[in-house]
Amino acid sequence: MAVKTTRFISASAQLPQLKQGPGGVFMSSQFHTKADLPPKSTNLTGQTGVITGSNTGIGFTCADMLLGLGLTHLILGVRTKSKGEAAAKQLREKRKSPSITIDVFLVDLESYDSIQDFVRRCAALPRIDFVILNAGATDDTFSLVKATGHERLVQVNFISTMLLATLLLPVLKSQSPAGRPGRLTIVSSGLSLHAKFPQHAAPRILPAFDFEKDFDALDQYSTSKFLLHLYLDELVQHVDADDVVVNCVDPGLVKGTNLHRDLGSFTHLVMSAIKSVSGRSLEAGASTYINAAVVQGKETHGCFVMNWKIFPHGMFFYGPQREDTQARLWEEMMEEFRFLKLEEVIQSLRGA
């Protein structure tokens, strides 16, 4: 594959900046958008799919729906083995098909060793067609991950998620069927569209999130999901859509999930009330993953998919500080993972 000489511009990056405010986006998404469920013709027979954060909520429902579409080999990526095995048992009992294989792989996004172990297990599979990185965190209290020193939301939702995504790219490139690109979908959030992201002005971006005095739970979560957009836009400069199609997706606000389990009791109560009134069904939320990872094609490479269609990136993406911030963020990630030779992993994607 020839080295790119011009910058790839995704369909999301080509769209104009979103003009709606947070309230308008929420109302449009939650009340005025019809779910676009997978076409009945979707047939995943013979395919292998990997989903992290899949023992409960949207991830579990997505796993079940994929099996219903004929998926032959399902990998549940979970943090706790007992919960993963319980989910696998429930899926096996529901489907009752001897042709379905369900395996449980452990992955803890607060541990770089665990992430590497997970990638090694995926690399040992004879085939992988798609990966959906759904695992994430919410929290309304500040905490640092002891192993890394980084604030937990940014660590789990961005740093570790994109490490995992990047390490999986060579696996997807080599393990996907000939003539068909592997697929990698990363779960973002509609909240990323209006992330304030004041940390962009700091001399170093990632350490700027690690101070409790500056912690704003909502914007920290929103920004942790927006950082995915910045990194993704740079990552796809090194990944050809003929090898692996990479995108990120927003499931919307969904009922019946445990996403807000780590919030305080009052905040949890408020979120539960909002979800009960305006939340999408689990099936609708899960269908956004399937749409981005299976139904849509190469046109979504490097894109943010929301409401079952290609959407603009977060508003900061279109501002004057984006290019410099993006370059600094990329370099900080390469420095963070120099010990894993992440830059060499990325450079290897350009090869044949």
> 282 is written with which tokens?
């689990």
**What average pLDDT does the chain have?**
93
Instruction: Give the model confidence (pLDDT) of 229-252 as tens digits.
Output: 999 999 999 999 999 999 999 999
- Give the pLDDT score at 39: 95
Cα(342)–Cα(347) distance, rounded to whole angstroms? Answer: 9
Q: Has 255 been annotated as catalytic? A: no
Asked if the model's pLDDT at residue 291 lies above 90, the reply is yes
> Which ranges of 39-185 would DSSP assign to H, the alpha helix?
57-68, 81-95, 112-123, 152-154, 161-175
CATH topology of domain 43-348: Rossmann fold (3.40.50)
Give percent of the chain above pLDDT 70: 92
Confidence tier at 2 by pLDDT (50, 70, 90)? very low
From the candidates 34, 94, 173, 225, give the one annotated as an active-site residue. Answer: 225
Is the predicted pLDDT of residue 278 greater than 60, yes or no?
yes
Beta strands in the chain (DSSP E): 48-52, 73-78, 101-106, 130-133, 182-187, 244-250, 304-306, 309-311
pLDDT of res. 333: 99
Give pLDDT, residue 308.
98
Task: Band the pLDDT of 266: cuts 50, 70, 90.
Answer: low
When pLDDT is averaged across residues 309-331 and rounded to a whole number, the result is: 98
pLDDT at 4 over 60: no
Average pLDDT over residues 220-237: 98
User: How open is the CA angle 132-275-263, to the nearest 5 degrees?
Assistant: 75
Is residue 305 pLDDT above 50, yes or no?
Answer: yes
Shortest CA distance to 114 belongs to which of 71, 170, 155? 155
Q: Which of 221, 231, 275, 289 is catalytic?
A: 221
Q: Does the annotation mark 225 as catalytic?
A: yes
pLDDT of 172 strictly over 50:
yes
pLDDT in tens, 24-82: 998 888 887 999 999 999 999 999 999 999 999 999 999 999 999 999 999 999 999 99
pLDDT at 30: 87
Dist CA 219 CA 217 (whole Å): 6
pLDDT at 259: 58
Give the model's confidence band at 276: pLDDT under 50 very low, under 70 low, under 90 confident, else very high.
low
137-169 confidence digits (pLDDT tens): 999 899 999 999 999 999 999 999 999 999 999
Supply the pLDDT for residue 262.
54
Cα–Cα distance between 343 and 352 in angstroms, integer?
17
Position 258 pLDDT exceeds 90: no
